Amino acid sequence: MKIYGVNLAEQLQHEFPLEQWLELLSAERRDSLCRFKRWSDRLRSFTGECLIRNLAGAYLGCRPSEVRIAKESGGGKPVLPYAGMHFNVSHSGEWVVCAIDRCPVGIDVEEIKPIDLGIAERFFSADEYKALLTEPADRQIEMFYELWTLKESYLKQNGQGLSGGLDSFTVTRNGSGYNEVSGQCFFRLYEVDSRYKLSVCANHTEFPQEVIRLPLDHLLQEFR
């Protein structure tokens, strides 16, 4: 498995000229990007696509534009229709991240923002909510985002997405890490940025040590 991250702070600040790059996409993909009302969401989604096309293209020995991306039936998880190549993308705030692996993988990044912990009572399992309340008050927001990203990475690993139900399974503390109670999946948290939480979920434990950072400019050189 490899995990990559692109920081978009500069492009978000200086109005990156996205329109000219969108012309290189298929009409269908342009339409799907335009479902995002905000320009910044389009940029994040475009960057995710750029990232996976570059990575898969390098692996397959073809141009990024020649990489095929399909969608799973059910939750609509984007997949690579090539044997033994799986990926997942996530974006939030300044970050776009992608995990690529030989087995199905899920990834979630979230910017830490002040939040009403009532959301945890509503969406987490009863045991997770109880565990959250036993944390010191100054750790609760951080743990909320750890649990949220872990749970979303789990639902993204199996392709269900949020329709799988965040409260349909439980993630528990295991030493310094976390486990899914049934033991079918494994997790790792990464510190890509102290203002964000990033979790990856897989059905094995061979996680890389770190997130490889790539600049968007580098990805665009290959994308044209």
Question: Would you say 92 or 125 has its CB closer to ligand COA?
Answer: 92
Q: How far is the CB of 154 from ligand COA (least distance, A)?
A: 10
Question: Would you say 27 or 137 has its CB closer to ligand COA?
Answer: 27
DSSP state of 42: H
Q: How far is the CB of 109 from ligand COA (least distance, A)?
A: 7
Q: How far is the CB of 103 from ligand COA (least distance, A)?
A: 14
Q: Answer whether 166's CB lies under 8 Å from 156's CB.
A: no
C-alpha pair distances (Å), 73 with each of 79, 122, 159 = 10, 28, 9
Question: Would you say 11 or 45 has its CB closer to ligand COA?
Answer: 45
Q: Which residues of this protein are in contact with ligand COA, per CB under 6 A?
A: 45, 48, 75-78, 88-91, 108, 152, 156, 159, 161-163
Question: Would you say 34 or 133 has its CB closer to ligand COA?
Answer: 34
The closest of 128, 83, 90 to 5, measured between CA atoms, is 90
* Strand pairing category for 177-180 and 212-213: unpaired
* Strand pairing category for 95-101 and 2-7: antiparallel
Q: How far is the CB of 63 from ligand COA (least distance, A)?
A: 20
